[in-house]
């Protein structure tokens, strides 16, 4: 849009000193002229030259420097490797306040937000660049459950891009449902056996991927074997001494 005195009768425009001129069109408001370029103008800096002529034949020119920026990288959000406590890349964490790394954030970005969806509710947080780069950590502990995160960036030109969603599951606890002495040779469940190489069965949630047992208070650990989903067992490989003992079981999901 070019604003000129009302007695101007011709408005011409030229781009980047090409020497080629196009005529603008008078708008509905007196003194306003408009022109939209009919073909794509390339990325980068440009100079528009405007020439006006009034009814008396006087002419004037003026230039406008402007830039075209249509490109914006797609941002990426990943769970910080230190908080990826499951198998790398599985999106499982035992941290209630996990940290996330934001990447591919262009230098001309003026706003970065992270949206977090959980339980049908979505919250959006503004993110600022720190000394170590772009990152996001929730300000409060998350409850166990599934979360979906997405990054949105906006640059100086008003371009907006969204990241692919990242699914994360927070699981801060597990349980040991049951410990059994399999070769209980006394009264049922009295935990008495005449077998010096006792066998133990441990029942845990199905997402447990390691069970360890110890007879010396955790100084020495033995890995149990997964018998079926949620059921693990271990038979002592050497004779256990006569008397009372305490079995310690550790389960990791």
Residue 189's pLDDT is 87
Instruction: Give me the residue spans of the domains in the chain.
Output: 2-68, 76-170, 178-252
Q: Mean pLDDT, to the nearest integer, of 102-127?
A: 97
Which residues partner with 136 through β-bridges? 100
Separation CA 118–CA 98 (nearest Å): 15
Residue 28's pLDDT is 95
Q: Does domain 2-68 have CATH number 2.60.40.10?
A: yes
Phi and psi at residue 86, to the nearest 5°: -90, -150
Is residue 188 pLDDT above 90, yes or no? no
The closest of 104, 103, 127 to 115, measured between CA atoms, is: 127
Residue 86's pLDDT is 83
Q: Mean pLDDT, to the nearest integer, of 234-244?
A: 96
Q: Do domains 2-68 and 76-170 have the same CATH topology?
A: yes
pTM reported for the whole predicted model? 0.73
pLDDT digit string, tens, across residues 126-164: 999 998 899 999 999 999 999 999 999 999 999 999 999
The mean of the pLDDT values for the chain is 96
CATH class of residue range 76-170: mainly beta
Whether 169 contacts 244, CB under 8 Å: no
Residue 250's pLDDT is 97
In 55-183, the DSSP E strands lie at 59-68, 76-79, 92-93, 100-103, 109-118, 121-126, 134-136, 145-155, 160-162, 166-170, 178-181
Residue 186's pLDDT is 86
Separation CA 41–CA 211 (nearest Å): 64
Q: How many CB atoms lie within 10 A of CB 163?
A: 20
Is residue 66 pLDDT above 90, yes or no? yes
């Amino acid at each position: 849009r070019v604003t000129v005195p009302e007695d101007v009768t011709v408005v011409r425009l030229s781009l980047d000193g090409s020497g080629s001129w196009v005529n603008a069109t008078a708008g509905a408001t007196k003194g306003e002229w408009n022109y939209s370029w009919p073909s794509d103008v390339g990325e980068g800096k440009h100079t528009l030259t405007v020439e006006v002529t009034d009814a008396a034949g006087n002419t004037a020119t003026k230039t406008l420097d402007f830039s075209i920026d249509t490109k914006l990288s797609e941002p990426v959000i990943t769970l910080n490797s230190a908080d990826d406590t499951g198998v790398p890349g599985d999106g499982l964490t035992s941290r209630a306040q996990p940290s996330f790394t934001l990447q591919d954030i262009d230098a001309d970005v003026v706003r970065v937000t992270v949206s977090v969806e959980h339980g049908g509710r979505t919250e959006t947080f503004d993110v600022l660049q720190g000394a170590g780069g772009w990152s996001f950590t929730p300000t409060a502990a998350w409850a166990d459950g599934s979360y979906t995160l997405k990054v949105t960036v906006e640059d100086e030109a008003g371009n907006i891009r969204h990241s692919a969603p990242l699914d994360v599951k927070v699981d801060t606890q597990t349980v040991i449902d049951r410990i059994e002495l399999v070769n209980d040779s006394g009264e049922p469940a009295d935990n008495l056996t005449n077998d010096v190489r006792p066998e133990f069965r441990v029942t845990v949630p199905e997402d447990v991927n390691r069970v360890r047992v110890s007879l010396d208070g955790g100084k020495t650990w033995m890995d149990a074997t997964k018998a079926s989903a949620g059921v693990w067992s271990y038979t002592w490989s050497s004779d256990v001494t006569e008397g009372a003992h305490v079995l310690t079981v550790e389960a990791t999901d």
